Chain A
């Protein structure tokens, strides 16, 4: 669905993107991770046809973004990191304006806008002025605008930046909804925990160069990074501790005896985790929850990056 080959971008003498190669399959949520100044926004602008690359190929759904930008824009929804809104308009009017820009027939607009307002949880704000919305609502409104023409691909540049914790959770839920709808989502962020929960694959970029990419499990495996597991049980604390300590792949076990919660790191794939859980239950440990915290993305990031910028 998204294909980037040997992509270069120079700003004068500064190399912002250096031989970037990526492939994102249909229906994936691709997390594009990197520190500030790594070249994320430049890549996203090239993907969104707002910037021409210095060299290389960029295709969305088989359409070259340089040769046919207007065709690409019809199937792409782009949400920039910094965006303005027509604050004097009402929420409905705002979406109606962009629906008209996308040449959606007048008779269909009302239903489409209502559906999108419901999806983005903005129905109650339908008649409110855009200027009076909170930051989180404005982000959601911008996402609603991005969805108005039902794009195949969503390119979101730091969609949760500046949001409070609640806003982030809501944004994450919304992106998960979109994933279920079959959209291919390319999302950039430097907040790793934000991405770990819902991305199916990731790419880490530093100083314009892609240092690692692939499906999260594969990346975790290839980088040999431990998985962070949180385990809550009802009883048999000693037995549980014994089992964990006897498993060679497990390290850094921390036990909160009163709460009956264990946290530990484990170098393992999904099968090994399932085996461990089965083993615990088989030995009479009553498990309440067994949760992969996903903090490993942070470990991978720290392992593969050196803190360089373009």
Chain B
């Protein structure tokens, strides 16, 4: 029994370190790290394009893929995390009341916070820009494809920031917002795959198969990026046969981006609409 207790204690020790870091007001850092690891885990899990031979055509597209994977992972976590903290931190510091009384409307407050999160994320990602821009010179990818990827990334950022801001309006404490933002990212990225796999398993498929029928996972951002990277490979690889599991319908990366843009607008609009009334309701 004592051995067992020691083992539990040893297991919990890292959590105590995290607790300490939280107390030092570095909660976002921990959450970012965990979220980034989780997203990297997703890519490793196997949802990434698996036609490895296609990736060996040239250096540029492989280099671009590596940089973009990193950029997407960092952008996803940073944008959502920063936005999720934006309004909740004002609540915690008791400055939101002053802001609300400062003559700013809810739209202005929400938009300003979203703009700050967008600037912050873009600023953090800037070092990746020169690396991405040299890729066309290394061959295997066109400048047009790079511009398309950046546009999709920008639209994704708008979606993540809108979601983060929405979460930030709903909850009072920063750590609650970060927990919900992390859960949101995990569910958005992996949840649909798990649901699809569960449905397939219930329908008699093996527990996990990449060729299981797709229902909801076409809406996952991972699928959007898979579709985008497939299109890059298809452009540079003769006779390229992309991975295409069975599904009711499939979306191109552009269509997925349009859906995310629509979702971002709805989330943003809802956030602005509920802002005042929700805060008054919370006061009750």
Contact = CB atoms under 8 A, between A and B. Distances in A.
Contacts of A52: 280
A70 B101 CA distance: 9
Given A102-B102, A103-B103, A51 B94 contact: no
B101 A48 contact: yes
B284 interface: yes
Contacts of B95: 83-86
Contact of B276 (A12, A69, A76): A69
B88 to A, nearest CB: 13
Nearest to A45: B283
Contacts of B93: 84, 86
Contact of B101 (A11, A73, A85, A86): A73
Interface string B262-284: 00000000000000100110011
Contacts of A12: 284
A69 B277 CA distance: 11
A229 B153 CA distance: 76
B283 A70 contact: no
B234 interface: no
Contacts, number: 52
Interface in B75-125: 93-95, 97-105
B213 to A, nearest CB: 49
B97 A101 contact: no
A92 to B, nearest CB: 17
Nearest to B100: A50
A70 B280 contact: no
Contacts of A70: 103, 105
A186 interface: no
A149 B99 CA distance: 13
B97 A80 contact: yes
Given A45-B283, A73-B103, A102-B102, A83 B276 contact: no
B283 A101 contact: no
A183 interface: no
A131 B88 CA distance: 20
A262 interface: no
A102 B103 CA distance: 5
A103 B102 CA distance: 9
Given A11-B284, A45-B283, A69-B276, A50 B97 contact: yes
A40 to B, nearest CB: 15
A138 interface: no
Nearest to B98: A83
Contacts of B280: 50-52
A101 B284 contact: no
A98 B283 contact: no
B283 A51 contact: yes
B101 A78 contact: yes
A83 B99 contact: no
Interface string A87-109: 00000000000100111000000
B94 A98 contact: no
Given A11-B284, A45-B283, A69-B276, A84 B98 contact: yes
A145 interface: yes
Nearest to B95: A84
Contacts of A145: 98
Contacts of B105: 70
B103 A149 contact: yes
A101 B94 contact: no
Contact of A101 (B102, B276, B279): B102
A74 interface: yes
A133 to B, nearest CB: 15
Nearest to A145: B98
Interface in A52-81: 52, 69-70, 73-74, 76, 78, 80
A258 interface: no
A102 B108 CA distance: 12
Contacts of B99: 101
A250 to B, nearest CB: 49
A257 interface: no
Contacts of A45: 283
A73 B99 CA distance: 11
A49 B279 CA distance: 11
Interface in A181-239: none
A302 interface: no
Contacts of A142: 98
B97 A98 contact: no
Given A50-B283, A51-B280, A101 B103 contact: yes
A48 B101 CA distance: 8
13 contacts: A45-B283, A50-B280, A51-B280, A51-B283, A51-B284, A69-B276, A70-B103, A78-B97, A78-B101, A84-B93, A84-B94, A102-B103, A142-B98
Given A82-B94, A84-B94, 13 more contacts: A50-B97, A50-B279, A80-B97, A83-B94, A83-B98, A86-B93, A86-B95, A98-B102, A101-B102, A101-B104, A103-B103, A142-B98, A145-B98
The 9 A-B residue pairs with the shortest CB-CB distance, nearest first, are A84-B94, A101-B102, A84-B93, A84-B95, A102-B103, A78-B101, A51-B283, A101-B104, A52-B280
